[in-house]
Amino acid sequence: AENLGGPSALDLILPYASKSLKSAIQKNAECERREQGICAIDFDIIINGQDWNLSRFDLSNGVKNSLPVVSATFYNGGRNKVNYFFVNEKGTWKIDEIEAIHYNADGSVESRFKLKQELR
| Exposed e or buried b per residue across 61-88, where buried means at least 16 C-beta atoms within 10 angstroms of its C-beta | eeeeeeeebebbbbebeebbbbbbbbbe
Angle at 10 between CA 100 and CA 104, to 5 degrees: 20
Q: Where are the domains of the chain?
A: 9-119
CATH 3.40.1000 matches 9-119: no
What confidence score (pLDDT) does residue 1 get? 42
Q: What is the mean pLDDT of each run of 10 residues along the chain (120 residues)?
A: 62 92 87 82 71 79 92 85 95 94 91 83
What confidence score (pLDDT) does residue 2 get? 45
Contact 41, 10 (CB under 8 A): yes
CA-based radius of gyration for the chain: 14
